[in-house]
Amino acid sequence: MIKKYWKDFLSLIYPNVCYNCEVALVEGEEKICLRCFRDFPLTHYHEMESNPLLQSTSGNLKVKGAFCYMKFNKAGIAQKLLHELKYKNNASVGLLLGEWFANYIKEDLLAADIDAIIPVPLHKNKQRKRGYNQSEVITRGLNKVTGIEVLNDVMIRTKNVSSQTKKGKVDRWQNVDALYMLENVKVLDGRRVLLLDDVITTGATIGTAAEVLAESEVQEIYLGCIASGK
Ligand SMILES: [Zn+2]
């Protein structure tokens, strides 16, 4: 009882507020108030006949579908949440995003018989600096809701992007081929995999990762992201 009063007392001094509208949160709400939660700019991409996320992977025959949670608008809610996750050392937001996303696409994941989730890896230097791979944190939330296994040790990022951004466009494309590498590929045999990145902008990064993944004996690949500007 005293613990509860103490908690109420603390929330008077440090109220938990909605990341989006800053209204004080009530019990049962986490990070986001119910009103903002209901207003999430959901994409419904996976229900569309021409899924915008699949345009850049049309040459990859193993890619069968793509899921995206929210539309990425400047200063929009997806940007705010992902900013917390990536630059404010707030991994708990990533876990929640993964859980919410899982609830959004759960039936479709099960219908597609997806049996593994792979986070798009960060280069080890970048991961060390951030303390975690934000996409991996999101996959933990997905796993919590769906029970689908996360394969965190099959894909490696071999190059740090900062060494590439200085180069020209053509160079960059050639370089991108060697961005990812697979390890422990046996575990991929016959699997239906959801490849997950936090954000998809042009689709080039996840498209490259999907190409590398397709070289294994993986059966089907689905792309997933929390937000996309497409
Ligand atoms: Zn709100």
CA 50 / ligand 1 centre spacing (Å): 32
CA 92 / ligand 1 centre spacing (Å): 18
What pLDDT is stored for residue 174 in this prediction? 47
CA 77 / ligand 1 centre spacing (Å): 10
CA 160 / ligand 1 centre spacing (Å): 36
The stretch 79-93 carries a mean pLDDT of 93
Q: Please answer whether residues 42 and 70 qualify as being in contact, where contact means their C-beta atoms are separated by less than 8 angstroms.
A: yes
Q: Is the pLDDT of residue 4 over 80?
A: no
**Which amino acid, residue 136?**
E
> For the chain, how many helices (H) and strands (E)?
8, 6
Residue 10 binned pLDDT confidence (cut-offs 50, 70, 90)? low
Q: Is the pLDDT of residue 102 over 70?
A: yes
Question: Which of 12-16, 29-33, 103-107 has the lowest average pLDDT?
Answer: 12-16
Residues facing residue 195 across a β-bridge = 118, 223
What pLDDT is stored for residue 159 in this prediction? 79
Write the pLDDT tens digit of every residue in 180-189.
Answer: 999 999 999 9
CA 18 / ligand 1 centre spacing (Å): 5
What pLDDT is stored for residue 55 in this prediction? 86
Estimate to the nearest angstrom the gap between the alpha carbon of 183 and the chain centroid. Answer: 21
Q: Is the pLDDT of residue 222 over 60?
A: yes
CA distance 172 to 70: 28
Residue 56 binned pLDDT confidence (cut-offs 50, 70, 90)? confident
Q: Is the pLDDT of residue 173 over 60?
A: no
The stretch 93-109 carries a mean pLDDT of 97
What number of residues does the chain have?
230
Neighbours of 120 (CB within 10 A): 27
What pLDDT is stored for residue 161 in this prediction? 60
CA 38 / ligand 1 centre spacing (Å): 9
CA 144 / ligand 1 centre spacing (Å): 25
Q: Which residue has the tokens 């569309």?
A: 48
CA 36 / ligand 1 centre spacing (Å): 4
Q: Is the pLDDT of residue 104 over 70?
A: yes
Write the pLDDT tens digit of every residue in 75-85.
Answer: 899 999 999 99
Q: Please answer whether residues 159 and 99 qualify as being in contact, where contact means their C-beta atoms are separated by less than 8 angstroms.
A: no
Q: Please answer whether residues 177 and 97 qualify as being in contact, where contact means their C-beta atoms are separated by less than 8 angstroms.
A: no
Q: Is the pLDDT of residue 86 over 90?
A: yes
What pLDDT is stored for residue 29 in this prediction? 92
Write the pLDDT tens digit of every residue in 141-165.
Answer: 999 999 999 999 999 999 776 544 4
CA 112 / ligand 1 centre spacing (Å): 33
Q: Is the pLDDT of residue 66 over 70?
A: yes
What's the CATH number for 40-228? 3.40.50.2020
CA 34 / ligand 1 centre spacing (Å): 7
DSSP, residue by residue, 84-138: HHHHS--HHHHHHHHHHHHHHHHHHHHHTT--EEEEPPPBHHHHHHHSS-HHHHH
Domain range annotation of the chain: 1-39, 40-228
